[in-house]
Amino acid sequence: MTDSSPVGSNRIPANPRRDDRTPGGPPIASIELPTAVPLSVYDLTVAYHRKPVLWDVGFDVPAGTMVAVVGPNGAGKSTLLKAIMDLTPRASGRIHVFGDTYRRNRHRVGYVPQRESVDWDFPIDVLDVVTMGLYGQIGWCLPVRRKHRLAAMEALEQVGIADLAHRQISQLSGGQQQRTFLARALVQNADLYLMDEPFAAVDAATERAIVRILHTMKDHGKTAIVIHHDLQTVPEYFDYVVLLNMRIVAHGPVEVIFTAENLQKTYGGRLTLLDEVTEAMRRRERSL
């Protein structure tokens, strides 16, 4: 079981690479890797039941940037994150994470799913959820050890809820749930973070905590791609923006791209040719 599993087979090449990134590692890798682009998407098309969700999406993300993915409901923002992580089949396109496939560099990516995606009545506590971020490293069939719990506690301290470590997850407020998920991604010590609406319906203190963490990430040269809904805070929290509405409307530095005209293109005039074609295809599928 251990040998055939992707996690098991990944761990062998993964660990040396991970070490290479620390100062003093072997020179060859340290020249090659820091120059690699954290995320590069070419020509990505994803369709659910022949209904296109993403069409010809392509963009590169420079290292050390905080990227907001912005677009109306149903623009395919979550699908984009899922496609990056190979969680959803793609009709076409190539995705490179640090210059290689996601499979190979999975250990360098941390994922913060939408809060609503899980049952918060599940019988586990906060620390349990955070250690889940380490399950891949711990390995199959092996138990969670003390050092893993310590790492999880550290991540909880970063998000400011270390005192809630042994609280039942059913007793968390929305903001605390979000911080728990954030800690679960932080504990992996990844280089690229994918976050699905971390700011959705959280309290002001949690919002500040998340922003603080984003700043720390940036200071350490890490990259975050964040699905975001609050247009007003985009210029304040992020330095790069991807405007998405099935297609890429525009992408680039916030000060250049985040203009009223581009937003109008993203949110306004929804009934474009693209929508009409989609609608026609959906009608045809229904009649089949």
Partner 1 sequence: MNYLRATILVTILVLFSSARSVQAQSSIGLQPGSLTDRAITWPTSEQWRRVLRLEDHNSRVVVLGTMLLGGAAGFVGSFTLLRRRALMGDALSHATLPGIALAFILATAWGFDGKSLPILLLGATVSGLAGVGAILLIRNLTRLKEDAALGIVLSVFFAAGVSLLGVVQQMKTGHAAGLEAFIYGKTASMGAADAKIIGVAALFCVVFSLLLFKELKLLCFDEGFAASRGFPVVMLDMALMSLVVIVSIVGLQAVGLVLVIALLVIPAAAARFWTESMWRMAVIAALLGAVSGMLGAAMSAIFSKLPSGAMIVLACAMFFLMSLFFGSSRGVIIRFWRRSRLDRTVDRQHLLRALYELLESSHDTKHIAADTARSVSTSELMAVRSWSQRRLKHEIARSRSAGLVKTEGDQRVYLTQTGFAEAVRLTHQHRLWELYLITHADIAPSQVDREADAIEHVLQAETVQELERLLEHQPDAGLPSSPHGPTEPVLRNSGKSITRRAE
Residue ranges that bind partner 1, judged by CB under 8 A: 5-7, 10, 82, 85, 87, 103, 106, 109, 111, 113, 117-119, 121-125, 128-129, 132-133, 135-136, 138, 140-144, 168, 170, 173, 175, 184, 201, 203-205
Q: Which is nearer to partner 1, 50 or 103 (CB)?
A: 103
* Closest CB 276 distance from partner 1, rounded Å: 23
* Closest CB 199 distance from partner 1, rounded Å: 13
- The whole-angstrom separation of Cα 133 and Cα 62 is 25
Q: In what order do the strands lie in the sheet with 223-227?
A: 109-112, 192-195, 223-227, 66-70, 240-245, 247-253
Q: Which is nearer to partner 1, 100 or 255 (CB)?
A: 100
Q: Which is nearer to partner 1, 177 or 245 (CB)?
A: 177
Cα 241 to its chain centre, rounded Å, is 14
Q: Which is nearer to partner 1, 11 or 265 (CB)?
A: 11
Core vs surface per residue 12-29: b (16+ CB within 10 A) or e: eebeebbebeeeeeeeee
Q: For 109, how many CA atoms within 13 A lie in the half-sphere containing its CB?
A: 24
Q: Which is nearer to partner 1, 172 or 249 (CB)?
A: 172
Q: Are 184 and 129 in contact (CB under 8 A)?
A: yes
* Closest CB 38 distance from partner 1, rounded Å: 16
Q: Which is nearer to partner 1, 138 or 257 (CB)?
A: 138
- The whole-angstrom separation of Cα 52 and Cα 45 is 7
* Closest CB 266 distance from partner 1, rounded Å: 26
Antiparallel, parallel or unpaired: β 66-70 and 92-97: unpaired
* Closest CB 238 distance from partner 1, rounded Å: 22
* Closest CB 170 distance from partner 1, rounded Å: 7
